[in-house]
Amino acid sequence: MAKLEIVTYPAEILETVCEIVTEFDRRLVKLLNDMYDTMLDADGVGLAAPQVGIAKQIAIVDVGDEHGRIELINPVILEARGEQIGPEGCLSFPGLFGEVKRADYVKVRAQDRRGRTYTLEATGFLARALQHEIDHLHGVLFTSKVIRYYEREELEG
């Protein structure tokens, strides 16, 4: 496993619509493992392939709850309900935090590292993380959804 370099904004790849994954091979497994290491090292709860320079529909999420490590390949949001407003950041925007409105519940369909399709239901913070990462795969950045940015003092407090 290896740590990958995280692409920071501005970069064209962060605003690119990513390609569907069709090959579930050893390179994909290695990429997922490396992305996971990179995310943990950066203290993140999610990371999308374009953030490591790869324009493919691959993302990982781990918010430290019972779901553990979630690997999302070609994910689609099937259902979204409710509303939550809360703080959000992004490894591609170091030090930037803003309040973002998201659905409170999502049902996601994705494929795992072997190409098997699964569905996942999530609420609260996990639902937020899933929406943030899936947005990345469509070139959508959280800054386009921020209601207001936090001041440095608010973050330190």
What residues are labeled active site?
133
Question: Is 136 annotated as a binding-site member?
Answer: yes
The 8-class DSSP code of residue 157 comes to: -
Shortest distance, CB of residue 153 to Zn ion, whole angstroms? 24
Q: How far apart are CA 138 and CA 136, in angstroms?
A: 5
Give SS3 for 28. Answer: helix
39-52: burial string, b at 16+ Cβ within 10 Å, e else: beeeebbbbbbbbb
Question: Is 18 annotated as a binding-site member?
Answer: no
Interaction between residue 90 and Zn ion (CB under 5 A)? yes
Interaction between residue 73 and Zn ion (CB under 5 A)? no
The 8-class DSSP code of residue 13 comes to: G
Shortest distance, CB of residue 26 to Zn ion, whole angstroms? 26
Shortest distance, CB of residue 66 to Zn ion, whole angstroms? 23
Q: Find the residue with minimal CB distance to Zn ion.
A: 90
Nearer to Zn ion, 7 or 115 (CB): 7
Q: Which helix (H) or strand (E) holds 125?
A: helix 124-136
Binding site residues for Fe cation, as ranges? Answer: 90, 132, 136
Binding site residues, as ranges? Answer: 90, 132, 136
Applying CB under 5 A, which residues contact Zn ion?
A: 90
